[in-house]
Amino acid sequence: MSGDTHILELSGLKKSFGALSIIQGVDLQVARGSRHAIIGPNGAGKSTLFNLISGAFPPTAGGIALNGRSIAGLAPAQINRLGLSRSFQITNVFAKQTVLDNVLIGVMARHGVRFNLWQFTSNMKELRNEAIALLADVRLDHRAETLASDLAYSELRALEIGMTLATGPEIILLDEPTAGMSREETSYIVGLIRRLTEGKTLLMVEHDMGVVFDLCDEVSVLVYGKVLMTGAPAEVRANREVQAAYLGEEAI
């Protein structure tokens, strides 16, 4: 069964908005346990692809299978419960709540504590400890009681990753996790991602080629809503078509 080797499979995936066709038949397999990057020029449809996979809107045609099960057209919440979690390119946290609560809500979702109206969250020791452990993983435990709106930018990006992990996904989708970061911040976040995706599958959109070639086992190049090629970073780097379409001179 293909669901065993490939955790995520896209087949003939299409999405158009009115007359505008953004995704024009994407076939893509993400191997279980791999770190897979999607690269491509601006407007290639990378974000749309993420939105389709995570359920922000349904595809016009084609299939999306998670663990061999079709998830095309399901709601974001259902897809998340099946083990796929995503981050956002533009930081999307609960600004007026503490860093701990930002993660705690994800941990609660993982344990199915969704509509609990009779227990105090402050008494849920196990869930809180789990959330604190997760904060320690993204090195934010010393900021647990700070309001998310008071965090520095790189801390916010770390929180963004922590929240994505909080619901206990098998596969995580990171949308430009290093966008807008300095060199040091980028290498810091890359280190976090490498450590935290151990034993999970990672699918990421990334503009920084250094990050992609450093972190990922497989790279797919998306151009005008189609996958131009998929392969190991070295293969992709060597491909003339890719160079012409996207990488340009500086990456060679």
Partner 1 sequence: MRLSTIFITLSLIASIAVPPFLDLGLQFTLITALTAALFATAFNLLAGQAGMLSFGHAAFFGLGAFGVLHLMQVVERGFGVPTVLLPAFGGLVGLLTGFAFGYFATRRSGAYFSLITLALAELLHVAAPRWTSLFGGEAGISSMRMPSLGVTFGATIEVYYLTLAWFLISVGALYYLSRTPFGLLILSLRDSEERVRFMGYDAERSKVLVFAISAMFTGIAGGLAAMAIETANFSIFAMHTSAQAVLYTFVGGTAVFMGPAVGAIVFTLFAYWVSNATAAWLFYQGLIFVLVILFAPQGLGGILQTHYRARHQLDWSRLASPYVLYALGMAITAFGVVFVVHSIEILFSSSYRLAAEVEGGLPAYEMFGRAWGPLAPLTWGGPIFALVVGIALMRRSRRNIALVWADTREERVEARNLDVEEKRT
Which range in 14-22, 80-88, 128-136, 233-241 contacts partner 1 by CB under 8 A? Answer: 80-88
| Residue closer to partner 1 (CB basis): 104 or 171 | 104
Pairing relationship of beta strands 69-70 and 226-231 according to DSSP bridges = unpaired
Residue 41 is encoded by which pair of tokens?
Answer: 């020029």
Contact 63, 94 (CB under 8 A): no
Judged by CB under 8 A, does residue 90 bind partner 1?
A: no
Q: Which of 29, 47, 48, 54 binds partner 1 (CB under 8 A)?
A: 54
The residues that bridge with 69 in the sheet, in sequence order, are 66
Q: Does an H or E element contain 46, and which?
A: helix 46-54
| Residue closer to partner 1 (CB basis): 41 or 73 | 73
Q: How far is the CB of 163 from partner 1 (least distance, A)?
A: 7
Measured CA to CA, the distance from residue 156 to residue 166 in angstroms comes to 15
Measured CA to CA, the distance from residue 4 to residue 182 in angstroms comes to 38
Which range in 82-90, 129-137, 176-184, 210-218 contacts partner 1 by CB under 8 A? Answer: 82-90
Judged by CB under 8 A, does residue 88 bind partner 1?
A: yes
Judged by CB under 8 A, does residue 115 bind partner 1?
A: yes
Q: Minimal CA–CA distance to 59: which of 44, 73, 43?
A: 73
| Residue closer to partner 1 (CB basis): 127 or 229 | 127
Q: Which of 30, 163, 204, 223 binds partner 1 (CB under 8 A)?
A: 163
Q: How far is the CB of 190 from partner 1 (least distance, A)?
A: 21
Measured CA to CA, the distance from residue 197 to residue 241 in angstroms comes to 31
DSSP 41: -
Judged by CB under 8 A, does residue 45 bind partner 1?
A: no
Judged by CB under 8 A, does residue 129 bind partner 1?
A: no
Q: How far is the CB of 44 from partner 1 (least distance, A)?
A: 22
Judged by CB under 8 A, does residue 142 bind partner 1?
A: yes
DSSP for 150-209, please give it: GS-HHHHHHHHHHHHHHT--SEEEEE-TTTT--HHHHHHHHHHHHHHTTTSEEEEE-S-H
Residues found near partner 1 in the complex (CB under 8 A): 54, 75-77, 80-81, 85-86, 88, 92-97, 101, 104-106, 108-110, 113-122, 124, 142, 163, 166-167
